[in-house]
Structure 1
Amino acid sequence: MLSLFLVALASATLLPGGSEVWLARQWCQDPSWPGLWAVATAGNSLGSLINVALGRYARHFQARRWFPVSPGRLARGERWYRRYGEWSLLLAWAPVIGDPLTVLAGIFRLAWWRAAALIVVAKGGRYAIVLWLAETWLAPLCRA
C-alpha cells in the first residue's frame, strides 16, 4: 500500500502519474475497498496540498519583474477567486486542470482547511468511482 500512496501523491503534484491504474491494479491483488480508498485519497490529497503550498510560496515573488502576473491582474484574479474560485477545487481530480487549480488556491491564499476539505471530497469521490468501476468491470478479469 505504500507504493499506492507514493504513486497517488506524485500523481497529484505537477509530475505525471497514473494513480487510477495503480489503484485498479492494487484492487485486483487485494479488493479491500476501504483501505485502498483511504490510502489513495490521502496520498493524492497530500500531493494537492503540496501544490497549494507551492502556490503560497510563489506569491513571495510577486514583486519581482519576472513574475508572470502584474499586481493589478493578481488583485482582480484574487477578487474573482474569492467570489467563485474556491469551489473549482471540486475539479482538483480532473486531468490537466486539477493541478493548476490547486496551485491557484495557494496563490490566492484560500484557507488551508477549506482547500483540504474540497480537495479530499474531490479526490475521494474520484477514487470511489475508480474502485466501483474496478469492481464492476475488472472483477472478471482479475479473478481469471
Structure 2
Amino acid sequence: MNSFIELGYWGLFLGSFLASTLIPMSADVLLIGTLALGGNPWICLLIATMGNWLGGLTSYWLGRIGKWEWIERWLKVKEEKLLQQKKNIDRYGIWLALFTWLPIAGDLFAIALGFYKVNPWLSAIYMLIGRLGRFLVWIFLYLHFAERFFPHIS
C-alpha cells in the first residue's frame, strides 16, 4: 500500500482500480493516505472514484463475457445454484450496483450483474453513484477528524 501512496495521484488511481477487482486491497486506506500526505480532497475524490468505478466496470464486463458452461465446468457450480442466484439478481437487480463498492461482496455483485446481463448503462450509473458516495463519506470524515488523528498535518 505504501508504494501506491508514494505514487501520489497515480497510485491512488491504480490502487483504487485494483481494489475494485478481486485483488484484496483497500481504496479507502489509499484515499486517506493520499489525503494525509497533502492531496487535494476534490482531486482525490475524482481520482479514487474514477479508478474504483473503472475497476468495477472491468469486473462487470468480465462477468458479462462469462458462460454458464464455464462456471459449471471450472468452478463446479451446478445449474440449479446459478438459477437460484439469478432469481436474487432478478429480485434486487440494478440496486445491487449501488453496493458494488463493498469489500469482496461488491466485486461478486459486479461480476454477477454482468454475468446475468443486467442493463450495462444503469449498472454503470448506479456503480458510479455508490462509489462516489462512499468516497465522499471518507473525505468528509477525514476533513472533520484530520486534526485529531493526523495532528502533524495541521
1:85 aligns to what? Answer: 93
* In structure 2, C-alpha distance between the alignment counterparts of 1:43 and 1:105, rounded to whole Å: 19
Deviation at 1:96, TM superposition (A): 2.5
Paired position in structure 1 for 2:21: 13
> Which deviates further from its counterpart, 7-16 or 69-78?
69-78
**1:3 alignment partner AA:** G
Match of 1:120 in 2: 128
Letter in 1 for 2:93: G
The answer to which structure, 1 or 2, has the higher relative contact order (CA under 8 A, 6+ apart) is 1
Residue identity opposite 2:145 in structure 1: W
Distance 1:64 1:29, change over 3 A: closer
3-state secondary structure, aligned to 2:107: helix
Structure 2 distance, partners of 1:49, 1:63, is 20
Equivalent residue letter for 2:153:
R
User: Once the 2 structures are TM-superposed, how far is the Cα of residue 81 of structure 1 from its aligned partner?
Assistant: 1.6
Residue 108 (str. 1) matches residue 116 (str. 2)? yes
**Which runs of 5 or more residues in structure 2 are unaligned?**
1-8
Q: Aligned-pair distance for 1:38?
A: 0.6
Q: Greater CA deviation, 72-81 or 14-23?
A: 72-81
RMSD: 2.1
What is the one-letter code of the residue matched to 2:23?
L
Task: Look up the SS of the partner of 2:22 in the other structure.
Answer: coil
Residue pairs, 1:1-144, within 5 angstroms:
1-59=9-67, 61-62=69-70, 65-66=73-74, 68-140=76-148, 141=150, 142-143=152-153
Contact residue 62 and residue 71 of structure 1 kept, 8 A: no
* TM-score normalised by the chain length of structure 2: 0.81
Shift of 1:69: 3.6
Identity %: 26
